[in-house]
Amino acid sequence: MDYIRAMTEKLHIVGGGMAGSEAAWQAAEKGVHVVLHEMRPKVKTFAHRTEMFGEMVCSNSFRSDDDEQNAVGLLHWEMRAADSLIMTSANTHRLPAGGALAVDRDPFAETITQKLKSHPNVEVSYEEVTELPDQGQWIFATGPLTSEALGAAIQKETGADRLAFFDAIAPIVYAESIDMSVAWMQSRYDKGETEEERKAYLNCPMTKDQYEAFIDALLAADKTEFHDGETAGYFDGCLPIEVMAERGRETLRHGPMKPVGLTNPHKPEEKAYAVVQLRRDNALGTLFNIVGFQTKMKYGAQTAVFKMIPGLEDAFFARLGGIHRNTFLNSPTLLDDQMRLKSKPNIRFAGQVTGVEGYVESASMGLLAGRMAAAEILGAELPVVPQDSAHGALIHHITGGAEAKTFQPMNVNFGLFRPVDGLKGGRRGRKDRYKAYTDRAKSVWSEWLSGQ
């Protein structure tokens, strides 16, 4: 019976990038007939060069391969355990890169293309999809450069304010690494109905000298450039902080760093010259983003500059800031925990368009969407992805844990994981903590896979 259903109901996957390729592989391996729709080469993007599936558009690295001490390495491990096409192809075309997983990009994409095209359950259709169909099972994995026509169709369904075309990512700091003998919790003018709201922001004060030195560092820092074709319409309402600083040394003090309505309980007599505010980034309260600090400074420069902020001298960053052309949904409000569009549940989204960031994270969301859609077609929903796995931490974040109002793309990091009880906090306890997270994740992920 299941077999007959799988033979008759096709799964349509739109986009043959990291997520769509992985989703197609996972579903096809479960016995579901997949139609993979890819617009290249008919419609091009400014970043893709080839017509292959699984093309890496920029760097050739899948980042750290350390599955004990690194969250992305853990994601590799989980994907390998789930027979990931992206990971097996990466292993085949691995290049020496220390602890990182770097690959020879063209043979890597050729392997993915060849494996999908020769799979008996995969049919390929080279066409642009421009609508969200009412019928059939669909996964949209169209990535950060989703075509214009499809973007318009998605906005029609979700509302214009629920699909962004640029990200504006402020750096995110692990709460435990902030020096609370310097910083304090307070909302401006103590606004808010509840105590929690009145203490919603974390404040880092600056003296005049500290502010001037900070502005000098911002102005001098190395910046990244936009890729060709990436800039259209970017500056509306999300200026990088260094550009604000270029407009005048006082601009930030009258913008995101204004010191008004705040009293430092550590030094109540002293009026701060400027204040950097951080806001909770996840329901767990383990991550804080620096408000208004979207930036195009290079990563190395960001760490040096942001550690000049009093209270953040020893901060560790779950992610650094950036601004890119990036089409992504407000997933916390739009998607259910099976990655279905709540308003049209025959449609799933996967990959970067769901608000994860990076090759690996995108592929991992493809892996989940492919398995979920296949299970649905075969008449069985998958059990909920365990939250303590890396996949679970990510999907939980984008479909519920993240603050919907300020939602920005997220890469996998240990700040998304629920704490393990009884372990030492802070820098000293980090190694044991990360090992505990990864051990726990491997165990729950293996259990989840074995139940399928």
Ligand X SMILES: Cc1cc2nc3c(=O)[nH]c(=O)nc-3n(C[C@H](O)[C@H](O)[C@H](O)COP(=O)(O)OP(=O)(O)OC[C@H]3O[C@@H](n4cnc5c(N)ncnc54)[C@H](O)[C@@H]3O)c2cc1C
Where along the sequence are the contacts to ligand X (CB under 6 A)? 14-20, 37-40, 45, 47-48, 57-59, 128-129, 141-147, 150, 227, 325, 351-353, 358-359, 362
Q: Is 18 annotated as a binding residue?
A: yes
Q: Which is nearer to ligand X, 241 or 365 (CB)?
A: 365
Distances in Å between the alpha carbon of 283 and those of 314, 362, 393, 425?
Answer: 23, 22, 12, 19
Q: How far is it, in rounded angstroms, from Cα 278 to Cα 293? A: 10
| Rounded least distance, CB 231 to ligand X, Å | 12
Place of tokens 């001037």: 212
Per-residue buried b or exposed e for 168-188, using 16+ beta carbons within 10 Å of the residue's own CB: bbbbbbbbbbbeeebbbebbb
| Rounded least distance, CB 214 to ligand X, Å | 29
Q: Is 17 annotated as a binding residue?
A: yes
Sign of CA dihedral 208, 213, 219, 223: negative
Helical residues (DSSP H) of 338-415, grouped into ranges = 359-377, 390-396
Per-residue buried b or exposed e for 54-66, using 16+ beta carbons within 10 Å of the residue's own CB: bbbbeebbbbbbb
| Rounded least distance, CB 353 to ligand X, Å | 6
Helix (H) or strand (E) holding 124: strand 122-126
Q: How far is it, in rounded angstroms, from Cα 447 to Cα 211? A: 52
Query: What are the structure tokens assigned to 328, written together?
Result: 């992504």
Q: Are 113 and 54 in contact (CB under 8 A)?
A: yes
Q: Is 20 annotated as a binding residue?
A: yes
Query: What are the structure tokens assigned to 197, written together?
Result: 């709201």
Q: Which is nearer to ligand X, 47 or 217 (CB)?
A: 47
Q: Which is nearer to ligand X, 104 or 176 (CB)?
A: 104
Q: Which is nearer to ligand X, 129 or 202 (CB)?
A: 129
| Rounded least distance, CB 20 to ligand X, Å | 6
| Rounded least distance, CB 156 to ligand X, Å | 14
Q: Which residue number places its CB atom closest to ligand X?
A: 17
Q: Which is nearer to ligand X, 32 or 132 (CB)?
A: 132
Q: Which is nearer to ligand X, 171 or 205 (CB)?
A: 171
Place of tokens 């259709």: 125
Q: Which is nearer to ligand X, 374 or 378 (CB)?
A: 374
Q: Is 401 annotated as a binding residue?
A: no
| Rounded least distance, CB 39 to ligand X, Å | 4
| Rounded least distance, CB 24 to ligand X, Å | 11
Helix (H) or strand (E) holding 317: strand 317-319
Q: Is 415 annotated as a binding residue?
A: no
Binding residues: 15-20
Binding residues for FAD: 15-20
